[in-house]
Amino acid sequence: MTVNIWSDIRCPFCYIGKRKFEQALEQFEHKDKVEVVWRSFELDPYLKTDPEKNLYEYFSEIKGMPIEKAREMNQHVAQAAKEVGINFNLEDVVIANSLKAHRLIQMSIAKGLGGQAEEALFNAHFAEGKNIDDLTTLAEIGATLGFEVEEVIKTLSSDAFTDEVRRDEAEAGALGIRGVPFFVIDNKYGVSGAQSPEVFLQTLKKSWQEQNPA
């Protein structure tokens, strides 16, 4: 059974959805038969990295709301994250374009480390306040995954793995995916958003039973 997950490192609900899916997978009787494939999706490909702007100012601008309203909205998201064991540090989140981070994920997928790269980048962005568009930062994250620092810098200084990112995004468009996280189970069932572990588990069981009626 294959589960394709489209997500963006900048998306808090993608991190929360990852955790909820993992909780469901732990309860799934046939979890050892499930292959999880992480797919790239940029919420805003044209976003300009701006370390001087905080998250609340950014949301205030793009949503057209007062900063206090943006702060309140994001605190609700932080609470949702806390409920699944993730501690967001929203005060220090760096507004950053995620293309280089996606390319590092694609680089990691080629070595069978897609899930580890996702987790490391989510944590760096939402918990550690790191700039996921910065080459030095990405090289340090890559080093925790077993890559040589120089290899990561050289790769991300080129256009390597950009085609893989664009391929994922084109496939998402063909499937009608407009937001993330989006989970596609066995190319048959789609689950949109950070649903409850129960929803994920039910869908996994349903797909398994249909493929293995005996």
DSSP 3-state of 145: coil
Q: How far apart are CA 86 and CA 37, in angstroms?
A: 22
User: How many domains does the chain divide into?
Assistant: 1
The encoded tokens of residue 12 equal 């808090």
Q: pTM of the predicted model, to two decimals?
A: 0.96
Q: Is the peptide bond before 66 cis (omega within 30 degrees of 0)?
A: no
Q: How far apart are CA 38 and CA 4, in angstroms?
A: 6
Phi and psi torsions of 88, nearest 5°:
-75, 140
Q: Please, which residues bridge with residue 5 across strands?
A: 38, 183
- Per-residue H/E/C for 19-86: HHHHHHHHHCCCHHHCEEEEEECCCCCCCCCECCCCHHHHHHHHHCCCHHHHHHHHHHHHHHHHCCCC
Write out the H or E segment, with its range, that includes residue 167.
Answer: helix 162-174
Q: Please, which residues bridge with residue 4 across strands?
A: 37, 184
Write out the H or E segment, with its range, that includes residue 123.
Answer: helix 114-126
Q: Is 9 left (phi over 0), alpha (psi -120 to 50) or beta?
A: alpha
The per-residue pLDDT string of the chain (214 residues; one tens digit each, 9 = 90 and over) reads 999 999 999 999 999 999 999 999 999 999 999 999 999 999 999 999 999 999 999 999 999 999 999 999 999 999 999 999 999 999 999 999 999 999 999 999 999 999 999 999 999 999 999 999 999 999 999 999 999 999 999 999 999 999 999 999 999 999 999 999 999 999 999 999 999 999 999 999 999 999 988 7
Output the pLDDT for position 213: 87
Write out the H or E segment, with its range, that includes residue 5.
Answer: strand 2-7
CATH of the domain at 196: 3.40.30.10
**Number of residues in the chain:** 214
Owning domain of residue 27: 2-211
